[in-house]
Structure 1
Amino acid sequence: MTHPNRTFSVYGLSAVKNYLGLIGALLAMCVLFSFLSENFLTLGTFSTLSNDIPTLVVMAVGMTFVLIVGGIDLSVGSVMALAASILSMAMVRWGWPLFAAGLLGILVASLCGMLTGLISVGWRIPSFIVSLGVLEMARGMAYQVTNSRTEYIGSAVDGISSPIFLGLSPAFIASIAVVVIGHLVLTRTVLGRHWIGIGTNEEAVRLAGIDPRPSKILVFALMGLLAGVGALFQVSRLEAADPNGGVGMELQVIAAVVIGGTSLMGGRGSVISTFIGVLIISVLEAGLAQIGVSEPMKRIITGLVIVAAVVLDTYRRRGERNTH
C-alpha cells in the first residue's frame, strides 16, 4: 500500500512541475515572438491581451470543474451567445439597466447548464451528447431572440471592459477574482474534494455514502453561470450581441484547459494551470497574428499545440502510475 504522505508528496511535486513547465513554455513563447516582432513586447500588446481574455478565463474555470468530474460541456459557446442575446433584448427592447439585464442573461445561462446536468446525470447519458443538443437549442434561441441580427447596445455596456488601472479593465480584474475563488473552492473546500473524488472514482464516492449526483449537476450549472458571465464581458467589449458569437468557443475553452494539464479522464485539474493555459493560447494567437501568419496556419499550429499537450499529459499520467 502506498503511504498517504508519499502519495501527497508525489502529487504535490507533480503540480509544481506542471506549473513550472507551463510558465516556462509561456516565457519561451514571449521571447520567441519578441525576436520575430518588434511590437510584441509592448504595453499596448499586453493591455490588449489582458482585456481580450476575461471571457475565455471565466469559461475555462467552469470547464476545468466539468472535466474534473469526468464530464464535458460542448454547449458553452452557444449558451454564451444566448445569454448575450437575452441581455441585449432586455436592455434595448425593454429598457432594463445593465445590472438587471446582465443578471437575467446569467440566470438563463445557468438554467442551460443545469438542464445539461439534470439530463446527463438523471438519465446517465454521456454529457457530450446532451450538451450537443443544448448547443443546438441555445443557438436556435439566440437567433430567435435577436431575429438573427446583431443587436447593437452602445456605450451603455462598455464600462466593464474599459481600462481603468494600468491598462486593465474591471472585466479582467473580475476574471482574476474568479480564478482565485475557483482555486480556493477546488483545493480548500469539501465540495472541491468531492469533485475530484467523483472524477477519480465515482463508485467509491457512492460507496462512502455520498450521493455524487447533486455535485455533478452543480458543476454543470456553474459552467452555465460562468458562460453567462463571459457573455457579459463579451457584450461589454463589443458593445453588441451577436447571435453568431461564440461559434467554436467550446473548442478554445477545452484547449486552454487541456493545455493547463486538466485530465480529460477526470479526477485531476488545476484552476491556476488552466489560467496559464489561457495565457498560452492567447499569447500564441496574438504572436502569430503579429508576425503575419495566415488564419488557416494559425489554426494548424494551435491544433498541434493542443495535440502535443494531450500527448504530454498521457506520458505524465503513466509516470505518476509508475511512481505509485
Structure 2
Amino acid sequence: MTTSSNKPADTTPPAPARSANAGTRMGLNSYLGLAGALIAMIALFSVLSSHFLTYDTFITIANQIPDLVVMAVGMTFVLIIAGIDLSVGSVLALAASAVSVASLQWHLNPIVSGLFGLVVAAVAGTLTGAVTVAWRIPSFIVSLGVLEMARGFAYQLTNSRTSYIGDAFDWLANPIAVGISPAFVIAVVVMIVAQLVLTRTVFGRYLIGIGTNEEAVRLAGIDPRPYKILVFALMGAFAGLAALFQISRLEAADPNAGSGAELQVIAAVVIGGTSLMGGRGSVISTFFGVLIISVLAAGLAQIGANEPTKRIITGAVIVVAVVLDTYRSHRAKRRA
C-alpha cells in the first residue's frame, strides 16, 4: 500500500544561490542615488566654472578613464569575494615595462607584445591569489608584497627610465566616432560583459556566495579556492589591459606609472556600493563610481583647486563612502 504526502515541495534555493541573489540585487534606488550624486556634482561644477559643462570636457573625461574602468571592474570581483588587491598600480607598471621589453628589445610585433604584457600581469595576479589561498594569508598583506615585487621588476626591466615605445598602440587612443577612443569602447564592453557574468552565470553566483559565506559554499560541495585564484588572476589581467590603454596615450612605458592607482580604484568601487566586507556588488554601480571620481577630479582642476585641496576633498568622499557602506551592512544584518 502506497501513501502520498500533500506536503508541498521545498522550493527554497540553496544558501549560495540565496546569497548570490541578494548580493547582485543592488536595486534601482542605488542606481538612481549614484546617478543623482553624479548629476548634482556636474551641476555644481557647471556653476563654479563656465568651462566645465562642455562637450570637450566630457570627451576628455571619457578618453581618460578606460584604464580606471577596467581595473575597477577587476577590483569589484575581488572585493565581492571579500578580498582586496593593493598591487594593481605596480602590476600596471610591470605590464607596461614588459611590453616595452618585448617591443624594443625583442622586436616583437605589437599584438604579441601586448599579449605578453597581459600574461605577465595575469601571472602577478595569480601569485597574489595562490599565496592568499594556499597559506590563508589576508590578501591585503600578500598584495602589499606583490606591490613591491612588481614595482621592483618594473624598474629592473626599464633600468628605472621611461621607455618610449612609439605609436604602435596609439590606435587605442585615437578618437573614432564623436571623439570617443577605442579604449573607451573596449572598457564599456568589458564592463557590460563583467556585469552579465556576475549576475547571469553560475560563476558570478559562486563569487557572491564565497564573499557572503565561504564556509556555506564549501559545505555545498563547491571548492572556493580555484574561484578565488581566478578572480585575482583576472584582476592582474585587467591591470595589464589598463597598461595598454596608458601606453596608447603616452606612447611610452613609465616604471613609475600607476603609483597610487589602487586608492583610486578601490575608492571608485566602494563609492559604487560594493561592500568591503564581500558578498555585495555591481559592476554598473562601479562604473558610476568611476564617473564620480573622474568628474570630481576634472571639476576640481577646472576651478583651480590646488593639489592639497584635491586630496582632502577626494579623501573625504572616500571616507563618506566607507561610512555609508558600513551603515548599509549593519542595516542589512538587522533585517536578516
Same fold (TM over 0.5): yes
Report the Cα offset of residue 248 of structure 1. Answer: 0.5
1:292 maps to 304
The answer to whether the aligner puts 1:190 opposite 2:202 as a matched pair is yes
Matches within 5 A, 1:182-261: 182-261=194-273
Residue 278 of structure 1, aligned match among 275, 285, 290: 290
- In structure 2, the CA distance between the partners of 1:237 and 1:9, relative to structure 1 (3 Å rule), is closer
Q: Could you tell me which amino acid in structure 2 is paired with residue 258 of structure 1?
A: V
Moved >4 Å (runs of 4+): 6-14
The answer to whether the aligner puts 1:54 opposite 2:66 as a matched pair is yes
Taking the aligned partners of 1:223 and 1:10, their CA distance within structure 2 comes to 24
- In structure 2, the CA distance between the partners of 1:217 and 1:14, relative to structure 1 (3 Å rule), is closer
Taking the aligned partners of 2:317 and 2:22, their CA distance within structure 1 comes to 26
Alpha-carbon displacement from aligned partner over 1:80-130 (angstroms, at most 9, x marks no partner): 000001111111222222111000000000000000011000110111111
Taking the aligned partners of 2:186 and 2:142, their CA distance within structure 1 comes to 30
**Contact 2:24/2:282 (8 A) holds in 1:** no
SS at match of 2:168: helix
Report the Cα offset of residue 168 of structure 1. Answer: 0.4
Report the Cα offset of residue 37 of structure 1. Answer: 0.7
1:166 maps to 178
- In structure 2, the CA distance between the partners of 1:156 and 1:8, relative to structure 1 (3 Å rule), is closer
The answer to whether the aligner puts 1:97 opposite 2:109 as a matched pair is yes
Report the Cα offset of residue 12 of structure 1. Answer: 7.9
Q: In percent, how many aligned pairs have the same letter?
A: 68
Taking the aligned partners of 2:20 and 2:95, their CA distance within structure 1 comes to 41
Stretch moving more, 175-184 or 86-95: 86-95
Taking the aligned partners of 1:227 and 1:9, their CA distance within structure 2 comes to 28
The answer to whether the aligner puts 1:36 opposite 2:48 as a matched pair is yes
2:134 maps to 122
TM-score by length of 1: 0.96
2:6 maps to none
Taking the aligned partners of 2:167 and 2:121, their CA distance within structure 1 comes to 24
Report the Cα offset of residue 317 of structure 1. Answer: 2.1
1:143 maps to 155
Taking the aligned partners of 2:104 and 2:55, their CA distance within structure 1 comes to 35
Taking the aligned partners of 2:126 and 2:263, their CA distance within structure 1 comes to 20
Report the Cα offset of residue 17 of structure 1. Answer: 1.5
Taking the aligned partners of 1:258 and 1:8, their CA distance within structure 2 comes to 19
- In structure 2, the CA distance between the partners of 1:14 and 1:257, relative to structure 1 (3 Å rule), is closer
- In structure 2, the CA distance between the partners of 1:11 and 1:88, relative to structure 1 (3 Å rule), is closer
Taking the aligned partners of 2:21 and 2:219, their CA distance within structure 1 comes to 27
SS at match of 2:196: helix
TM-score by length of 2: 0.92
Taking the aligned partners of 1:17 and 1:211, their CA distance within structure 2 comes to 34
Taking the aligned partners of 1:113 and 1:320, their CA distance within structure 2 comes to 32
User: Which sections of structure 2, spanning at least 5 residues, go unmatched?
Assistant: 1-11
Report the Cα offset of residue 8 of structure 1. Answer: 9.7
Structure whose alpha-carbon radius of gyration is higher = 2
RMSD value, Cα = 1.7
Report the Cα offset of residue 318 of structure 1. Answer: 2.4
**Contact 2:24/2:199 (8 A) holds in 1:** no
Alpha-carbon displacement from aligned partner over 1:231-274 (angstroms, at most 9, x marks no partner): 00011111110000000011110000000010000001100000
SS at match of 1:125: coil
- In structure 2, the CA distance between the partners of 1:190 and 1:9, relative to structure 1 (3 Å rule), is closer
